Amino acid sequence: MADKPMSRRLILTGGLAAVGGAAAATGVGVLRARDEVVENQDEPIVVEPFHGRHQAGIATVPQGHVAVLALDVAEGVDADRFAAVLRMLSHDAERLTRGEAALGDTEPQLATHPARLTVTFGFGYALFDKLDLADRRPDDFTVLPEFTVDELDPAFVGGDLMVQICSDDVTAVAHAMRMLVKDSRSIMRVRWVQRGFRQTTPVIEPGATPRNVMGQLDGTSNPTTDELDAVVWRDGPDWLRDGSTMVIRRIRAEMETWDAVDPAAKDMVIGRRNDTGAPLTGRSEHDEPDFDAVDGLRLPVIAANAHIRRARLSDGRRIFRRAYNYDDQLTPHGIPDTGLLFIAYQSDVTTFVDMQRRIDEADMLNSWVTPVGSAEFLIPPGCRPGGWIGETLLG
């Protein structure tokens, strides 16, 4: 079948832009609806611009599907060769996100409906050593320690290059991943792949907080759009300005035992009412928790080891979540391998480490969740038209 002619006229649609406004108004923490429409003869194609000050896929209104993959660079590959491949991957991503086939795509028809496809790249700790660039790695970027609650599977740990692929169409995710892997395997091999999903419109209202596989509203405490500069984006070193750091934790939910907990106890574990998401001291989801409130017995209304108390740092530092779930195989007895793809962006990974240490010490929720995967990445800034992701470091 012949390709449909596609114009280059991009128009910002008011309806889609309103999604971001609705999200910001609720304080949920998403963010910017940068959606554009590429018009063709039959129907509009919704796209997210690849170029910009920041990489897409972070402050973008979250899509319904994600695949995160980590690749390892082969021994002997130098910075110049890695840069050449990364330049090619950026070019692939630029074309795919606007609904055009990548060069050499043998199935170009799969690229015509990107459904807000975004591709985000990140650099792992060991990559800098492999490329003899250790002096360019920020001192505050470290490998996460293993926490006492962790039962890490090496199959979901580490990686040199991270690629996060998001779209509202799982086919677009699969096709983009196929193209990017094909164009990287001359110097890299796949270390791991994790696929996830989340509630989006029309299942939930624009800007509403999605529920995870444990039934909880997931992302209530996210920063608003106006707070992202302080929470997510970095101001140095020069090559990383307007970039970020990413932590991904694969957290298995112990659903068989969680299912046995009564609703009131679940509320106590989290510190929120599961039906509304309101803190136990409030009436609506976005009410500020009152951690000083006590009941008639002079006991804290929000327990000292409730999740929302343990996940809060006293100095006000925060992370930004792109909350996704995973749901893989069942055992022969019907026990699910399901849980959270805990993707967090913050300007400094020490914020995440300090928060996780508090959770590790005394969070009631630890009885029902088990981290089985962990990785951290530096997220370089976005690029201009004609540029490529990573050129501030490697160009």
* Per-residue pLDDT, 44: 72
Predicted structure pTM score:
0.90
Residue 176: burial class (beta carbons within 10 Å; 0-12, 13-18, 19+): buried
Torsion of CA 188, 189, 191, 192, to 10 degrees: 110
Examine residue 374 and state whether it is found in any structural domain, yes or no: yes
Alpha helices (H) along 139-231? 170-184, 228-231
How many residues comprise the chain?
A: 395
**Mean pLDDT per 10-residue segment, the chain (395 residues):** 36 36 40 53 80 98 98 98 99 98 96 98 99 98 97 98 99 99 98 98 94 98 93 98 99 98 98 98 98 97 98 97 96 96 98 98 98 99 98 97
Examine residue 122 and state whether it is found in any structural domain, yes or no: yes
Q: What is the maximum alpha-carbon separation in the chain?
A: 74
Examine residue 170 and state whether it is found in any structural domain, yes or no: yes
* Per-residue pLDDT, 43: 63
Examine residue 53 and state whether it is found in any structural domain, yes or no: no
If residue 190 lies in a helix (H) or strand (E), which one and from where to where?
A: strand 188-197
Examine residue 4 and state whether it is found in any structural domain, yes or no: no
Rounded to a whole number of angstroms, the distance between the first and last alpha carbons of the chain is 40
* Per-residue pLDDT, 376: 99
Examine residue 10 and state whether it is found in any structural domain, yes or no: no
Examine residue 225 and state whether it is found in any structural domain, yes or no: yes
Domain region containing 285:
65-379
* Per-residue pLDDT, 45: 78
Cα–Cα nearest to 102, from 189, 11, 23, 172: 172
Alpha helices (H) along the chain? 14-26, 79-97, 125-130, 170-184, 228-231, 255-258, 263-270, 307-310, 349-362, 391-394
Examine residue 255 and state whether it is found in any structural domain, yes or no: yes
Tell me whether residue 218 is one of the annotated catalytic residues: yes
Q: Please count the structural domains in the chain.
A: 1
Residue 41: burial class (beta carbons within 10 Å; 0-12, 13-18, 19+): exposed
Amino acid, single-letter form, for residue 167: S
Active-site residue, selected from the candidate residues 218, 267, 360, 363: 218
Rounded CA-CA distance 99/101 in Å is 7
